[in-house]
Amino acid sequence: MPLHTAVPKAPNKKGLDITSILTIIFIVILPFGFYFLSKRHSNHNKSRYGLIQSMLMGNKRFAKGSPVHPHVNVNYLQSIAHEQRPKAVVITCSDSRVSPELIFDEGMGDLFVIRTAGNIIGEVELGSVEYAVEHLKVPLVIVMGHERCGAVQAMLSGKLPHNHIKTIIDSLRNETEIKAIPQNDELRLAHCVEANVKHGVKELLSQSEVVQEAVHLGKLQVLGAHYDLDDQKVQIVVQH
């Protein structure tokens, strides 16, 4: 009987299998993906930096006594009558001398303002911030304290009012950042005001998942600032 010898099969000439093709595509495209994500993140940062600088320039105009009072004409007011488009949230004190729109030389509809005595941030204030971040897509939140804050002064006086003001005093007194300031600090009031601002920033970043996610995605920046009643200037004290 004739012997049947196995004939070796020719190599598969169909080319690369689908797994290899996908691997090559992944290797080639991945760096471009990182590049565009990085560029997008960089553009967000530049945009926020420009916004911060614009607001600080507005404050310089205000401090020099030469504000321009933008966005007060009738046509502009009509354009925002049905939809607000604020560019920043400002959380600050209820003090009558601390009006964010004036301090930053901004106009109607430019700022989403939240004001409480001592710029304290509780659940209601957190909800307001989350609305601005989630629904209005605001890219910047500023917590701004001010020189000689009456709420902080009342807390340091040691007096305990027996009405709703006590809630404000207790809230300030329980802040870890304020507790850390020595009793004999000659600048205790100023340092407590700054500590209160830093506490507010920490509350936003630790208590709000909406804020946390927006910051993580590079869509939001949170700043702490101090307003000087004497020279009308704003200084950034902390930023995230």
Binding-site residues sit at: 93, 95, 146, 149
* Three-state secondary structure call for residue 239: strand
How far, in Å, CA of 146 to CA of 134, rounded? Answer: 28
Residue ranges of the binding site for Zn(2+): 93, 95, 146, 149
What is the DSSP pairing of strand 111-115 with strand 221-227? unpaired
- Name beta bridge partners: 221: 140
Q: Residue 165: which H helix or E strand, with range?
A: helix 165-173
Residue 164 tokens, joined: 């709703």
Amino acid identity of residue 180, one-letter, is A
Residue 124 tokens, joined: 């209601």
CB 195 within 8 A of CB 155: no
Report CA Rg, the chain: 28
Max CA distance (Å), the chain: 116
* Three-state secondary structure call for residue 223: strand
CB 206 within 8 A of CB 176: no
How far, in Å, CA of 224 to CA of 239, rounded? Answer: 6
Chain CA centroid to CA 43, Å: 17
